[in-house]
Amino acid sequence: MGLLKYIARRLFFLVFLVIGVSLVVFVISHSVPSDPVLANLSQRNIDNPEMVEAFKAKWGMDKPLYTQYFIYVGNLVQGDLGTSIRTQRPVLDDLKDYFPATIELAIFSIIIAIVFGMLFGIISAIKRNSAMDQLIRGISVLGVSVPSFWLGLMFLLLFYVHFGIAPGPGRISPYLKPPVEVTHLYVIDALLAGNWSLARDALWHLLLPGLVLGSFTMGLITRTTRSSLLEVMSLDFIRTARAKGLTEKMIIMRHALGNALIPVVTVIGIGFGNLLGGMVLVETIFAWPGIGQYAYKAAGNLDFPAIIGVSILISINYVVINLLVDILYGILDPRVRYH
């Protein structure tokens, strides 16, 4: 019962989060000198007072701020996020179009980050203070220190331009047609359609942006796995296991690893949140048609309905993923009690 109550409480927080996030962007959007009118109308239309009035009336900008906000929340409750000023389409439709690309890239990167991060971390801890340990620690620090937008540029220059072995920007090669959309994740859709070459092409296109996006989280996971495993290895029950005469491999696999991975799960949650934020930069470099690019263009045009939409979507994701992580945490560690 404790767990259900806990989940309910956390989901209840989501409601406030959505209200808070939309309110923050709303306040910013209306308390600043910049003007969406200037950002979205041509110079000739700005000089025409009637056009400006019509534009403001269309977007509800002629009403007082709190009225605008209540109208917005009223629509939000009905699942209407408003219309994007830039694309002239409902924000919800835009998000539906752009989000799958982002999710596909995010899932791919987090898998890379988890697999390599844990592997590196375990090796590093086992061979503590060896040259291998120093090398891996160096790599993990590089991972959290490298600016993703620059790494993306370097990868494209090296593997696409210079060696010609990696595909260029985008989700699939320009001469291929996207798969029939079921999950909207190209790799999976192509596999469902039995189109192997298309699936391979899509996967191939994920590789560079996935590596770039995952580098930070990988570094984080490596570091956490290492220090957590080292900490567990110094505990009494490991000494007991050693006294029993178990091999070092058995001790790590059977006794240490399970306990050491608990903090790693938390970091994965943080890493995923970071990933969604990092999307803006990586998608810009790789011309990846996801919400990061969408948000970037929206911010440049002061397209506030779109910005609020993206922000709500990402913060909900962040909260839900952290909730999942917390639940997983409780399953892995029976000592945890929810309250």
Q: Which is nearer to other proteins, 187 or 255 (CB)?
A: 255
Beta partners for residue 83, in sequence order: 90
Residues, the chain, total?
339
Q: Which is nearer to other proteins, 12 or 70 (CB)?
A: 12
Task: Give me the helices (H) in the chain, please.
Answer: 2-30, 36-40, 43-46, 49-58, 65-77, 91-126, 131-145, 148-155, 186-192, 196-233, 236-243, 248-250, 257-286, 291-300, 304-332
DSSP code at position 255: I
Cα separation, 286 vs 192, in Å, equals 26
* Distance, CA of 332 to chain centre: 24
Q: Which is nearer to other proteins, 199 or 229 (CB)?
A: 229
Least distance from other proteins to the Cβ atom of residue 66, Å: 19
Cα separation, 159 vs 276, in Å, equals 25
Least distance from other proteins to the Cβ atom of residue 248, Å: 18
Least distance from other proteins to the Cβ atom of residue 231, Å: 6
Chain residues binding other proteins by CB under 8 A are 13, 16-17, 20-21, 24-25, 28-29, 32-34, 128-129, 134, 137-138, 141-142, 144-151, 153-154, 156-157, 161, 223, 227, 230-231, 234, 276-278, 280-281, 284-285, 295-296, 299-300, 302, 307, 310-311, 314-315, 318-319
Look up residue 93 and give its two tokens: 């439709």
Least distance from other proteins to the Cβ atom of residue 18, Å: 10
DSSP code at position 89: S
Least distance from other proteins to the Cβ atom of residue 171, Å: 19
Least distance from other proteins to the Cβ atom of residue 98, Å: 13
Cα separation, 127 vs 252, in Å, equals 12
Q: Which is nearer to other proteins, 34 or 48 (CB)?
A: 34
Least distance from other proteins to the Cβ atom of residue 200, Å: 26
For 181, other C-beta atoms within 10 Å of its C-beta total: 10
Largest CA distance in the chain: 87
Least distance from other proteins to the Cβ atom of residue 310, Å: 6
Least distance from other proteins to the Cβ atom of residue 286, Å: 11
Q: Which is nearer to other proteins, 180 or 287 (CB)?
A: 287
Q: Which is nearer to other proteins, 149 or 338 (CB)?
A: 149
Q: Which is nearer to other proteins, 28 or 188 (CB)?
A: 28
Full 3-state SS string of 5-26? HHHHHHHHHHHHHHHHHHHHHH
- Would you list the DSSP string of 280-329? HHHHHHHT--SHHHHHHHHHHTT-HHHHHHHHHHHHHHHHHHHHHHHHHH
Cα separation, 163 vs 38, in Å, equals 45
Q: Which is nearer to other proteins, 8 or 161 (CB)?
A: 161
Q: Which is nearer to other proteins, 187 or 217 (CB)?
A: 217
